[in-house]
Copies of this chain bind each other. A is one copy, B any other.
Amino acid sequence: MSAPDLDPRSAREALRGIVGEVEAMSDDEVTDRYARLVWSTLVEPGDSVAHRFVAALGPAAALRELHAGMKAGVFARAGIDASDGDRGARRWLPRRKDDATRTALDAARRAGCIALCPGDEHWPARVDDLGAHAPLALWVRGDPALLSAPVPALALVGARAATGYGEAVAVEFAASLAATGVSIVSGAAYGIDGAAHRAALAAGGTTFALLAGGVDRPYPVGHSELISRIVSAGVVVSEAPCGTAPTKWRFLQRNRLIAALSDATVVVEAGWRSGSLNTAAHAASLGRPLGAVPGPITSAASTGCHRLLREFDARCITSADDARELLALHGDALWPASGGPLGTHSPHTDDRSRDDDRSRTDDRSRVLDALSTRTWRTGADVARHAGMAEQDVEGVLGLLLLDGAVKSSPSGWRMLPRAASPGIGR
């Protein structure tokens, strides 16, 4: 097996159309870019040893070291444990094939696929939170600018064996969120993933599909047309070079990219052992907000969601607005907490549920306004002051009691002083 062709002229030729602004790059930049894509054919997704080795030496130098047979001390220079490095080299070396990179680049060119590398204009900064587990490169069909756009991205994932309930929820959330400018991230699978992508497209919004194999090989095959539509209106991304088959390992690593490319993850339906729980685990380990949609406890398709609620402190998500609230929990989010960056309501937004929320908040304020911090008032008094039915007032008072905002006694109700200050009474 010969050393890879790192001649700048042929590398530049090979990268044309695959890597942006290749003409403006120096020879070193071009060979590094080419070498990085070679690495992308040598390693499996999420190989942190390869990532650290490439980061420490630079892609071209690291590749030359690999082909020179890894001289003694090279891993120590890269800050890598020698046995980790040796095990890595034993993984990478058998993969060397003279034509692997050319084959991947040719397939990419045929599929209209480009390659993004760290530092590229549209490289999505979110994935850098994966540290040494970040991808070496991303293979992209569709509009790469969507990946780096300063708009919120929500992962909506779930079981392939979804129920009608789960698919309806995925459609409702994806349509409402996409219509207000949130990018919907998912895995193009049957069931929840497909419903989320389709609804986002139907709402005229943006959606990202993350594939486990090459983006030139739509998977599942039954979603080929959906994946083509996502290429046209959104973006289809994989860490695996074109021509690569999806494997179980690559599905699990693809899940980490779904989580990493999203500001928050919501699991809509998941069985007890659903792969979506793996995506949830990645979101949690990245410190990204995690939500789960509850369902009937009699539905096997909701057991994984309930497990996330019970054991992993996932937020209970019951509406698109709850999902917006979850997105706002991601501290470095670049958009308003609710309503989305467009600041407008599209016809796809569920205005009914928004109105409900508003009336709930209004009732609460009206009841608080009708209470005193000093004197006890009966429910009837409060109802008269608030201009509400006594029965409704009792309900709101019960909730305010739940919040610790009011006190009750046989003489009636009193507001606790802290509830009177703005921003504390919810």
Interface residues of A (CB under 8 A from B): 43-48, 87, 91, 165, 168-169, 248-249, 252, 272-275, 277-278, 280-281, 284-285, 293-298, 302-303, 306, 309-310, 312, 315-319, 322, 360, 379, 392, 394-396, 398-399, 401-402, 404, 408-411
Contact = CB atoms under 8 A, between A and B. Distances in A.
12 contacts: A91-B410, A165-B298, A272-B360, A273-B396, A281-B401, A294-B297, A295-B297, A297-B317, A303-B318, A306-B316, A306-B318, A312-B402
A399 B295 contact: no
A46 to B, nearest CB: 7
Contact of A310 (B248, B252, B315, B409): B315
Contacts of A169: 297-298
A297 B168 CA distance: 11
A137 B401 CA distance: 25
A278 B409 contact: no
A277 B44 contact: no
- Interface centre among A47, A275, A284, A401, by most chain B C-beta atoms within 10 angstroms, is A401
Contacts of A394: 248, 252
Contacts of A298: 165, 168-169
A39 to B, nearest CB: 13
Contacts of A280: 402
Secondary structure of the A side of the interface? helix
- Interface centre among A46, A252, A310, A401, by most chain B C-beta atoms within 10 angstroms, is A310
Q: 4 tightest CB-CB pairs across the interface, nearest first?
A: A273-B395, A294-B294, A281-B402, A278-B398
Contacts of A396: 273
A251 to B, nearest CB: 9
A248 B390 CA distance: 10
B294 A309 contact: yes
A273 B398 contact: yes
Given A248-B379, A273-B392, A297-B293, A410 B303 contact: no
A309 B312 contact: no
A294 B273 contact: no
B410 A43 contact: yes
A252 to B, nearest CB: 7
A221 to B, nearest CB: 20
Contacts of A319: 297
Nearest to A271: B395
Contact of A398 (B281, B360, B404): B281
Contacts of A284: 402
Given A46-B409, A169-B298, A277-B402, 20 more contacts: A43-B410, A44-B410, A45-B410, A47-B409, A91-B411, A165-B298, A169-B297, A252-B394, A273-B395, A275-B395, A285-B404, A294-B294, A294-B302, A294-B309, A294-B316, A295-B295, A297-B317, A297-B319, A303-B318, A312-B402
Contacts of A408: 46, 252
A408 B248 CA distance: 13
A296 B297 CA distance: 9
A173 to B, nearest CB: 10
A379 B251 CA distance: 13
Contacts of A91: 410-411
Contact of A411 (B87, B168, B302, B404): B87
Contacts of A317: 297
A221 B213 CA distance: 66
A289 to B, nearest CB: 13
Given A248-B379, A273-B396, A310-B322, A409 B281 contact: no
